[in-house]
Chains A and B, each alone.
Chain A
Amino acid sequence: MKKIEFTTALRELLKELPQKDIDGYIEYYSEMIDDRMEDGLDEAAAVGAVGSPAALAEEILVDHKVEKWPKLRVPQGWEWALIILGFPLWGSLLLTLLVVTLTVYASLWSIVILAFAAVPLCIFGAVLLLANIITGSMGGTELVLFYTGTAIGALGLAIFMFFAAKWLYKVVLKNTKIGYRQIKKYTARRKEAA
């Protein structure tokens, strides 16, 4: 690899860092390559000896990620006053956010419950129809056929809804667990940085 390819590649990989830091790294490794070439290595060997841009960038970004989390600090005296004064604003916003989140989450579970509820309802409907047919309170063979068909359809729907409900239940549960774990990871990382 040529030196210019190396620096271009490295620059690209580090692009999310502050410009000053990027320039520092590029200058540093550029110098290393130049010094190695002076020692007698050709350009490709010198660049190779310094390392691959990808490997170097990975290390560098890991170092920088540790600095990314701002340290949590205790608010000072006057900052507390500001927090207390602003409570009506951020308090109600926070409350709204909580309520909305809980409502959405509850709705998800309502769907699951409804799906499960649909099962006995469909079965019940089917039973009713069949009962009517058997006791003969329905008139006409066409009607009987129609209601028999509907009853069978309802039973089929019940079976389908049962499996759909089971699936929905699993999905909501799984995503709840994932969400919970993410929240734990996030709070743990912030605690670590503090």
Chain B
Amino acid sequence: MDIQLKRGLLDLCVLAAIKTEDSYGYRIIKDMKPFVEMSESTLYPILRRLEAADLLVVYSAEYSGRLRKYYHITAAGLQRLEDFNEEWKEIVSIHNFITREESLQ
């Protein structure tokens, strides 16, 4: 897949992973596993980028005697996911057009 496209899509996946409740790094990867393979090294820059864009916020909380970083989606992050739903409709109609051309041949 085009690398820029994939990057944007993976960003959205991470946002979706923390949409309903806050999550932490390892769990995000686990939750995504049935749908998308993501390695730790790929996730980290995404999390940093999303934080820099204010689409999520980070906080530390105690867990089993150690500090764990949790990620919480912001209003802007939720809006981004909404926007993608709209974009998806456009992608579907583009795809319909492309495949329509094929069936005409």
Query: Which residues of A are at the interface with B, using a C-beta cutoff of 8 A?
Result: 24-25, 27-29, 31-32, 34-36, 38-39, 50-51, 56, 59-60, 63
Contacts and interface: CB of A to CB of B under 8 A. Distances in A.
Contact of B44 (A25, A35, A39): A25
Which interface class (under 10, 10 to 19, 20 to 34, 35 or more) fits B?
10 to 19
Chain A, interface SS category: helix
A36 B44 contact: no
B4 to A, nearest CB: 14
Contacts, number: 33
A32 B40 contact: yes
B68 A28 contact: no
A35 B24 contact: yes
29 contacts: A24-B48, A25-B44, A27-B69, A28-B25, A28-B40, A28-B44, A28-B69, A31-B24, A31-B25, A31-B26, A31-B68, A32-B25, A32-B26, A32-B40, A34-B66, A35-B25, A35-B26, A35-B27, A35-B68, A38-B64, A39-B26, A50-B40, A51-B39, A51-B40, A51-B41, A56-B41, A59-B41, A60-B41, A63-B45
